[in-house]
Amino acid sequence: MAEAERIIGTPDTPGAGAEPEQSVGQAASGERSGSGETGAPEGPSAGAEETAGEAEQPRGRRRIAVLFAVAAFAYALDLVSKMIVVAKLEHHEPIEIIGEWLKFEAIRNAGAAFGFGEAFTIIFTVIAASVIVVIIRLARKLYSLPWAIALGLLLGGALGNLTDRIFRSPGVFEGAVVDFIAPKGFAVFNLADSAIVCGGILIVLLSFRGLDPDGTVHKD
């Protein structure tokens, strides 16, 4: 009887052991499929966009730093030159630099650049302040080095003349700008006017070339 049970029970032994093997196989298959799902790449576009965004941030900060560095240099140069002119040249005879072709002559200008519009001092003051605000707001989207230089010149020149409008006589927002560069046959101006004109010319050239402040180039 025992011999018969042994003979009958022999085929069941592998069958009973087959279930764990099947379970192990299914688990291994599940692990392989799970690992395939979790390890699948998210796609090249997401990684490329993230890398590009990280690269743009330092470049944008450098351009903003250039803008404010140029503005600070132009503003300081204009401010120092005006202080020297007021202290050494005002109420004195003009100084000839190149004969009669170029002189340093201190005058007070209540108008816009190069002496235009003396009756609209407050309006020009508001315009200068508005230009400064617009440039500062535009700086957040600035990724072009030439544009950073151009806007820096505009910002420094506008700050230079706005300082005169606020702090010089006859009163706040009505102050007269100090001009001293007097070419023959031309209006008298200062370094702030020169910075504004140079910045404006550079912006026109950049616009003709199709270069935008964010660094992109377009063709009309």
193 is catalytic: yes
Q: From CA 160, how far away is CA 153, in angstroms rounded? A: 11
The label of the residue with tokens 């235009």 reads 116
Q: What is the CA radius of gyration of the chain?
A: 37
Nearest CA to 80 out of 135, 145, 193, 160 is that of: 160
Query: Cis omega before residue 213 (within 30°)?
Result: no
Residue 74: enclosing H or E segment and its boundaries?
A: helix 44-88
DSSP-derived 3-state class of residue 194: helix
Identity (one letter) of the amino acid at 69? Answer: A
Whether 180 and 190 have beta carbons less than 8 Å apart is answered as yes
179 is catalytic: yes
Among 12, 78, 164, 179, the one annotated catalytic? 179
Q: From CA 121, how far away is CA 49, in angstroms rounded? A: 49
Beta bridge partners of 181: 104, 189
Whether 152 and 71 have beta carbons less than 8 Å apart is answered as yes
69 CB-contact burial (10 Å; exposed 0-12 / middle 13-18 / buried 19+): middle
Among 12, 193, 214, 220, the one annotated catalytic? 193
Question: Which amino acids are annotated catalytic?
Answer: 179, 193
